[in-house]
Amino acid sequence: MTDKHTLHIFDEDLQLLTEEITRLAAHVSEALKGALAALDSGDAALAQAVIDSDREIDVIQTCINAHTVRTLTRQQAVADDLRAILAAARIAPHLERIGDYAKNTAKRSQRLSKPVDGEILTQFKWMITRIQSMLQRVIDAYLRHDAEAANVAWSDDAELDALYAKLFNHLLERMSNDGKQVADGTQLLFIAKGLERAGDHVTDIAEEVYLMVTGEPLQGPRPKVDEQGLRTD
């Protein structure tokens, strides 16, 4: 096999890895959309469809892992290519975890005794829409090899944290004022925390993209807000 042919196969492997990451991100975003719809409608069958779809997310991640190993062993990669391969290997688990939080949202929606009221649902809609938007931006940065866009996406999480803190305290207040709210409120708290963690994984992906493009880690503490609404950076 000639060096030229080997290089061509290697380039195809890199392109396929990029396509697989994009496909995985699309599945994850669709799972988030489905989880929101299940939470909104209280439709147990729709929630189950989101839960079942997580198997496909796991399959894609497994394929990316295997493909990464195969690409690394095909030939000695130069620095830029090596960073791209390793970035794919590190981004895939973050995407898979976001998919897990979508699945868990769907699972917990099945355990609610009644539909989520409008005020709380509006905040969940905002959180999920925000996560989808952040994810789209960071995947666009990944596809364009855009370090500046990745840096912006990295700092976007603070607003999501602020809403989570507000929602967390609102749910706790409801539960303390009305014991009948505790069972459902506990499920909603877990959903809110999962979505907050999903946002953290998006910013972790932004860090990987920045490192892939520049070869340097993002500097400085990431802006964070705790449950009391206080910045922790």
| Domains of the chain, earliest start first | 3-214 (1.20.58.220)
**pLDDT recorded at residue 82:** 86
Question: What is the rounded CA–CA span in Å between residue 35 and residue 38?
Answer: 5
* Global confidence as pTM: 0.89
pLDDT of residue 13: 85
- pLDDT the model gives residue 152: 84
Instruction: Report the alpha-carbon distance of residue 68 to residue 14 in Å, rounded.
Output: 9
pLDDT at 225: 54
102 with 28: CB under 8 angstroms? yes
d(CA 128, CA 50): 14
- Own/partner long-range contacts of 180-187 (Cβ < 8 Å, ≥24 apart): 183/113, 184/112, 184/113, 184/114, 187/108, 187/109, 187/111, 187/112
pLDDT value of residue 232: 52
pLDDT value at residue 1: 45
The token pair at 14 is 């890199």
- Point out the residues of the chain with pLDDT beneath 70: 1-9, 74-77, 220-233
* Cβ pair 25, 102 in contact under 8 A: no
Which residue matches tokens 């290519």?
81
